[in-house]
Every structure is written in C-alpha cells, then in structure tokens.
C-alpha cells in the first residue's frame, strides 16, 4: 500500500522520492478526488493549458513519473510535489479543497514519523486494510506474508539481485510454480487491473504465497544461491514445496486454493461485467 494513499476511500497514487525527501502525487487522481470528474485526465489537460497560458510556473515545472495505470500497465503520469499541488488546488473550485489540504499535511507528517519509526508504516497499512473492510484474520496473514516477502527480497539483494525486472522475474517463477498461473494470469482471473494482487488474495492464497517464499529463501540460503540463475532455480524449488502442499489440501477438501474471488467494491465489479471485462 506504500504507493497508494486513501482520501475518503478514494485512491491517490503517490511516489516517495527518498533522495529529495518529497512526496509526489498523481495529479489526475487528485482532480478526481476534488471534482468527481468522469475524465480527470481531460480535465487536467484543459486546466494545464489554461494555467500555462497564464504563465503559472508551478504547472510548467511538473514532472512525469511511471505509475500503474487503470489498465495495469506502467504509464507516464503527471505528478506534483506538495507545494506544486497546493498551487494547483487553488485553481480547482471544490468544497473538498480544504479537507484535502489537511490530508496532504497529514501524509507528510506521517512520513516523517515512519522514517523515525518504521513500525508505524505497518500500523498505517493495517489501518488502510481495516478501512477497506478486511478481517483481522486476513490482515494478520497479509502482514505476516509481507514480513516473509521482505526477508526473501533482502536475501536476493545480498546475493546480487539488483534490477526491478529481476525481482519481478523471480517472483513470477515462484508464483507460477505454486499456483500454475503467472502473476498476470492470476490478476486476470480476479478481474484486477492496477490493484495489488496480494491485497485481493484469500487467506489461503496468502498462506501458500508465504509458504512458497519462505521455502524459496530457506532453499536459497542452504544452497548459498547467488545471481539470477541460481536464485531462479531456488525459486522454482520453493514454489514446488507450496504447490505440493496446495495439491494435498485440495485433494482433502475438494476445493481450489487459487480463486477468482476479489475484494473489489460492488460498483467496480458491475463496471467490469457491463464492459465485457474491460474498464
């Protein structure tokens, strides 16, 4: 949830720049929050041109970053830091402007707290999941799985894995081995677009994901795996441990562990159905 913040249950994509110690916010998401515009990108394009014509430097200096779009792909997205965003908000007539400004200040303050005390980020993740209606049992399993995941990625970093696509490659090996589906196919099964797959897993899926990643790390450690290929071999073995456990459970219960169920809001589910599976 670190790249998604919630304002009145609406998602705002964010990026924390550790070098500059700044938050960047997707401008279109903020416009949607403030205006409920059916097409915030168009709203922003028109507004951007008007402000540029007026010589507003806060707009001309806005950056673009790759963020997950509605179709699940990484796309260049106009972003603004807090100072720029406050200037943009001044040009948007909205009764939500003041509450949103207060929310921005709260996000900045909380980030400073998390840097000083990283455990607070876990508390806020728990709070977000509670707001989204997750059970305490589910939240506990999600957080346990996150800790297991962090230990695995720490091992990968120490063993020479550096690039994002290498992390994604290894993750996909583990996932495909234990589920029989790639990460993308699993997201398709759950009718997800830009949402985080793990945030829409069942309790059983979370448990088996954690088992696969725990097994991968312990196998990699015992084999002293280094580099991409050796870690890929360990990932396949770790995923296989969870696959065998999954098959045994399914044979005993007659139920599939891997499921198409999700936690999408009812309105969003209806939108997907009406449009034939596409937003």
pLDDT in tens, 61-108: 788 888 877 776 788 999 988 888 888 888 888 888 888 888 877 765
Does residue 209 belong to any structural domain of this protein? yes
Query: Which position has the higher pLDDT, 89 or 119?
Result: 89
Q: How much is the pLDDT for 89?
A: 85
Same domain, 139 and 202: yes
Domain assignment of residue 196, given as a range: 134-274
* Same domain, yes or no: 119 and 139: no
- Regarding whether 92 and 146 lie in a shared domain, the answer is no
Residue 129 lies in a domain: no
Domain boundary among 68, 102, 124: 124
What is the pTM (predicted TM-score) of this model? 0.58
Please give the pLDDT value at position 276. 43
Residue 197 and residue 252 in one domain: yes
Between 103-112, 137-146, 192-201, the lowest mean confidence (pLDDT) is in 103-112
Final residue in a domain of this structure, among 68, 101, 124: 124
In a domain, 98, yes or no: yes
Number of domains in the chain: 2
Which of 10-14, 34-38, 54-58, 212-216 is the least confident region? 54-58
Tell me the three-class secondary structure of the chain, residue by residue.
CCCEEEECCEEEEEEEECCCCEEEEEHHHHHHHHHCCCCHHHHHHHHHHHHHHCCCHHHHCCEEEEEECCCCCEEEEEEEEHHHHHHHHCCCCCCCHHHHHHHHHHHHHHHHHHHHCCHHHHHHHHHHHHHCCCCHHHHHHHHHHHHHHHHHHHHHHHCCCCCHHHHHHHHHHHHHHHHCCCHHHHHHHCCCCCCCHHHHCCHHHHHHHHHHHHHHHHHHHHHCCCHHHHHHHHHHHHHHHHHHHHHHHHHHHCCCCCCCCCCCCHHHHHHHHHCCCCC
* Domain end marker among 105, 124, 143: 124
108 and 74 belong to one structural domain = yes
Do 186 and 114 share a domain, yes or no? no
Same domain, 32 and 111: yes
């Amino acid at each position: 949830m670190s790249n998604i913040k919630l304002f009145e249950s609406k998602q705002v994509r964010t990026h924390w720049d550790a070098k500059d110690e700044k938050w960047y916010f997707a401008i279109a998401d903020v416009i949607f929050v403030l205006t409920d515009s059916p097409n915030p990108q168009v709203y922003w394009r028109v507004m951007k041109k008007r402000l540029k014509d007026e010589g507003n430097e806060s707009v001309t200096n806005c950056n673009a970053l790759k963020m997950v779009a509605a179709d699940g792909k990484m796309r260049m997205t106009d972003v603004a830091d807090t100072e720029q965003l406050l200037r943009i908000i001044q040009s948007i007539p909205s009764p939500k402007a003041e509450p949103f400004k207060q929310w921005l200040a709260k996000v900045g303050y909380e980030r400073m707290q998390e840097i000083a005390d990283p455990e607070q980020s876990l508390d806020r993740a728990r709070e977000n999941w509670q707001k989204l209606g997750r059970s305490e049992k589910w939240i506990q399993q999600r957080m346990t799985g996150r800790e297991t995941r962090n230990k695995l990625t720490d091992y990968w970093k120490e063993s020479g894995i550096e690039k994002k696509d290498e992390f994604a490659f290894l993750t996909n090996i583990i996932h495909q081995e234990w589920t029989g589906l790639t990460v993308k196919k699993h997201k398709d099964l759950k009718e997800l677009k830009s949402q985080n797959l793990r945030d829409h897993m069942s309790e059983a899926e979370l448990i088996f994901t954690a088992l696969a990643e725990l097994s991968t790390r312990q196998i990699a450690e015992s084999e002293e795996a280094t580099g991409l290929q050796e870690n890929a071999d360990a990932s396949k073995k770790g995923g296989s441990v969870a696959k065998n456990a999954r098959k045994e459970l399914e044979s005993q219960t007659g139920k599939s562990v891997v499921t198409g169920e999700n936690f999408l809001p009812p309105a969003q589910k209806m939108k997907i159905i009406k449009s034939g599976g596409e937003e």
